[in-house]
Amino acid sequence: MSENNDTFSVAGREFSSRLLVGTGKYKDMDETRAAIDASGAQIVTIAVRRTNMGQNSDEPNILDVLPPDRYTILPNTAGCYDQKTAVRTCKLARELLDGHNLVKLEVLGDEKTLFPDVMATLKAAEELIKDGFDVMVYTNDDPIIARELEDMGCAAVMPLAAPIGSGLGVRNPLNIRTIVENAKVPILVDAGVGTASDAAVAMELGCDGVLMNTAIAAAQKPVLMASAMKKAIQAGREAYLAGRMQAKRFASASSPLEGLFF
Amino acid sequence: MNIQLNGENTPVDDGATLTDVINNLPLQGSRYAVEVNEELVPRSEHDRYHLKEGDSVEIVQAIGGG
């Protein structure tokens, strides 16, 4: 595989950037725009909420800042704790994006951990796929569930690295590797990345991409962190493709021993 | 009659359509989607969708989120 045309595709759409970013928690729309620009992301997530009835109507909408003709908008079901609200959210998103059917499904199980409710996630995924959605699904780092979601027809499976917004990095690299090795659909680490090295680790494990929000938005300098993440994703991907050396317990001299003159 | 509009008790004319309600809101030029009683109502049906007393209308938009 050439590094120059190393694209990844999800649900028939092709992307050169493997960094997907959320658009929440930024100071304002200018910072959102600058950080997303620096990240090089082509897929950006949004949330669906009640319209603001008149208050702050001057404030630009996220879709004015990130126009759907330039970015692939990935509506999420953040805040949904059951199948029904997740499916309603996706239908509303498809309507407001003129039939765009790519969604990020997350059905949460617990406010403290924001871990997924896997049973409800499976049911919601099935209902959405039947209704014609391309579903990128947030789940835990369980290879069996990941396989089930793939078999059901999810467009991409997105195991967490660590709890949403925790910044703890990839807590279970062996499971992530197993999920990647088993999969024929794209596997993206979604949630839990804290800094650039975490993103590189996910990519070195063979993930097709990483989705993050807080790691960039909650950095002291979000725009600089967005740039760091872009590089980390590229570096991790190239290292994965390059095939790393075997780690050894003891040293192996890098300079030849022949020709020593002492 | 009264409807619930994004959770707020809101008076509207008897027999008002969704379009009537939406036209009274500062939504021009923005992207939104509408549910009545937890069911999506596509844009193409707003003109002929007549609301009933107590209907629960949700109008949503995209916002920043992760």
Q: What is the mean pLDDT of residues A31-50?
A: 97
Q: Is some CB atom of chain A closer than 8 A to the CB atom of B33?
A: yes
Dist CA A221 CA A215 (whole Å): 11
Confidence band for B28, pLDDT divided at 50, 70 and 90? confident
β-strand pairing of A43-50 with A72-75: parallel
Three-state DSSP class for residue A210: strand
Distance from CA of A86 to the nearest CA of B (A): 12
Q: How far is B41 from chain A (nearest CA, A)?
A: 9
- In a domain? residue B7: yes
- pLDDT, position A242: 98
What's the pTM value of the predicted model, to 2 decimals? 0.94
pLDDT in tens, A71-116: 999 999 999 999 999 999 999 999 999 999 999 999 999 999 999 9
* Mean residue pLDDT across chain B: 95
> Is the Cα dihedral A111, A113, A118, A122 positive or negative?
positive
Q: Which of A25, A27, A104, A231 is catalytic?
A: A104
> Taking a C-beta distance cutoff of 8 angstroms, is the pair A169, A192 a contact?
yes
Contact, A214 vs B66, CB < 8 A? Answer: yes
Counting one residue from A and one from B, how many pairs have CB atoms under 8 Å apart?
103
CB distance B4 to B13 below 8 Å = no
Residue B63 backbone zone (phi > 0: left; psi -120 to 50: alpha; other: beta): beta
A158-189 per-position pLDDT tens digit: 999 999 999 999 999 999 999 999 999 999 99
Asked whether residue B56 is assigned to any structural domain, the reply reads yes
Residue A26, both tokens: 């930024």
Q: Domain range holding B24?
A: 2-61
Contact B64 A76 (CB under 8 A): no
pLDDT of residue A52: 74
Q: Which residue of B has its CA nearest to A105?
A: B66
Tokens of A89: 């959210």
B66 to A78: CB separation less than 8 angstroms, yes or no: yes
- Determine whether A91 is an active site residue: no
ipTM of the prediction: 0.96
Min CA distance, A75 vs chain B (Å)?
8
The number of folded domains in chain B is 1
Place of tokens 């630009």: A60
Instruction: List CB contacts (< 8 A) between B32 and chain A.
Output: 51, 96
Q: pLDDT for A183-237, tens place per residue?
A: 999 999 999 999 999 999 999 999 999 999 999 999 999 999 999 999 999 999 9
Confidence of residue A1 (pLDDT cuts 50, 70, 90): very low
**Neighbour tally for A31: CB within 10 Å:** 14
Q: Where are the beta strands (DSSP E) in A38-141?
A: 43-50, 72-75, 102-105, 134-139
Tell me what pLDDT residue A116 has. 98
Q: Is residue B49 part of a domain?
A: yes
pLDDT at residue A56 in the model: 61
- Specify if B36 maps to a domain: yes
Tell me if residue A225 falls in helix, strand or coil: helix
**Could you tell me which chain B residue has the CA closest to the CA of A49?**
B60
Q: How confident is the model at residue A62, as a pLDDT?
A: 92
CATH number, domain of B30, equals: 3.10.20.30
Query: Which residues have a Cβ under 8 Å from the Cβ of A56 and sit 6 or more positions away?
Result: none
B66 lies in a domain?
Answer: no
**Is residue B10, in this structure, part of any structural domain at all?**
yes
**Average pLDDT in the A19-39 region?**
96
Summarised one tens digit per residue, pLDDT across range A42-75 is 999 999 999 876 556 667 889 999 999 999 999 9
And the tokens for A128?
A: 């959405």
- Phi then psi for residue A79, to 5 deg, are 90, -5
Nearest-CA distance B20 → chain A (Å)? 15
pLDDT of A235: 98
Strand A43-50 relative to strand B56-64, pairing: antiparallel
Q: Which residue has the higher pLDDT, A1 or B63?
A: B63
Q: How far apart are CA A200 and CA A195, in angstroms?
A: 9
Per-residue pLDDT, averaged over B4-18, amounts to 96
Check whether A22 has a pLDDT greater than 90: yes
Q: What is the pLDDT of residue A53?
A: 65
In chain B, which among 34-63 make CB contacts under 8 A with chain A? Answer: 34-35, 38, 40, 42-43, 58-63
For residue B25, being part of any structural domain is answered with yes
Question: Which residues of B are less than 8 Å from A22 in CB distance?
Answer: 64-66
Residue B5 pLDDT: 96
- Are the beta carbons of A92 and B27 separated by less than 8 Å? no
Q: What is the mean pLDDT of residues B16-33?
A: 92
In our burial notation (b when 16+ CB lie closer than 10 A, e otherwise), range A147-168 reads ebbbeeebbbbbbbbbbbbbbe
Please judge whether B64 and A25 are an interchain contact, meaning their C-beta atoms are less than 8 angstroms apart.
yes
Is B35 contained in some domain? yes
Close Cβ partners of A28 (under 8 Å, ≥ 6 residues apart): none
In terms of residues, how long is chain A?
A: 262
